[in-house]
A and B are shown apart, each in its own frame.
Chain A
Amino acid sequence: MGTKSRWSWSRTDSRVLELGLGLATLLVGVFGVLLPVLGVIGLMDPADTRAVETEVATRVPDAVTDSLASSAQGDTLTLTGTHHADLVIADPSLGQRLLLVLPELVGSVLLVLILLLVFQIARTLRGGDVFAPRNIRRLSVIGVTLLVLAVLDPLLVAFTNQMLVNGTVAAEHVLLSVTFTGEFVLLAFLILALSEAFRRGAKLRADTEGLV
């Protein structure tokens, strides 16, 4: 210890980070929010496809294309599973267009919020004062938002899938499937833990302020 680190955070590093975050926010805003909204209101080609899971089981070699069946003939191999299918709606109505993009739209809005908060935290690096009460709140909001995103997004996908196929012949084949991603939940808890670390760091700094 006692030797000065050869690498230290510079103003240029801050600018590069802010530029990267700004660019990421812009891209998510354009491709995740603006373009889907334009598609819903009819100013652009709307989304008309949604990946769904169907309850029809695939069996190889029982029910497959000729090429697959012929290649599997004589083998003891059996492949079973659930189909992943594309639900395509020709000329979707306004409501269907909204349902098609809703999960992506909500996810992107929450992602933009997270990126904006990270951008604001990154800006405080300029002054070297990251243990600020504002950053503690921002980190808490990021953690909670990520948690909401991890839970809400799969629910929205499942809900909108059912809404889209409700009353159609496809309804009996499309599974009500909700898949939660554990990694996002873990990341959310890690960020919430980091926010608590920031809170304690800020308190420690406040304690040493005015120490003679």
Chain B
Amino acid sequence: MPPEDEHRVQVHLDKLLAERGMTLAELAARVGVTVVNLSVLKNDRAKAIRFRTLTAICRELNCQPGDLLSVRDD
């Protein structure tokens, strides 16, 4: 069983969006998820991400998963 404690994964969506001059709504439309869900991801409130969503975000932002996600130190 996986541990039940909080995860330490950080999402750098806001930074990537700012670097590419793209809005959250625009990315949501391109990726095909709702702005609400993307906002959940951007604000570190997501508990999981589908590979399909991750692939689409990386495709639209022209980045790798490692650019989008990192694990925070304790």
Q: A176-212: contact bitstring with B at CB < 8 Å (1 yes, 0 no)?
A: 0000000000000000000000000000000111111
Instruction: Say whether B25 faces chain A, with CB atoms less than 8 Å apart.
Output: no
CA of A210 to CA of B43, assembled, Å: 12
Question: Number of residues in A with C-beta < 8 Å to the partner?
Answer: 6
CA of A92 to CA of B53, assembled, Å: 76
Which residues of B are found within 8 Å of A211, using beta-carbon distances?
46-50
* Chain B interface bracket (under 10, 10 to 19, 20 to 34, 35 or more): 10 to 19
Shortest B19–chain A CB gap in Å is 21
Which residues of A are found within 8 Å of B53, using beta-carbon distances?
212
Which residues of A are found within 8 Å of B40, using beta-carbon distances?
210, 212
CA of A101 to CA of B34, assembled, Å: 62
Shortest A164–chain B CB gap in Å is 54
Instruction: Say whether B15 faces chain A, with CB atoms less than 8 Å apart.
Output: no
CA of A123 to CA of B53, assembled, Å: 36
Q: Which residue of A lies closest to B54 (CB)?
A: A212
Q: Which of B33-74 contact A (CB under 8 A)?
A: 33, 37-38, 40-41, 45-50, 53
CA of A208 to CA of B47, assembled, Å: 8
Shortest A55–chain B CB gap in Å is 57
CA of A211 to CA of B37, assembled, Å: 8
What residues of chain A have their CB less than 8 Å away from a CB belonging to chain B? 207-212
Given A211-B46, A212-B46, 16 further pairs, Cβ under 8 A: A207-B47, A207-B48, A208-B48, A209-B47, A210-B40, A210-B46, A210-B47, A210-B48, A211-B47, A211-B48, A211-B50, A212-B33, A212-B40, A212-B49, A212-B50, A212-B53
What are 14 pairs between A and B in contact, CB < 8 Å? A207-B48, A208-B48, A209-B47, A210-B40, A210-B45, A210-B46, A211-B46, A211-B47, A211-B49, A212-B33, A212-B38, A212-B41, A212-B48, A212-B49
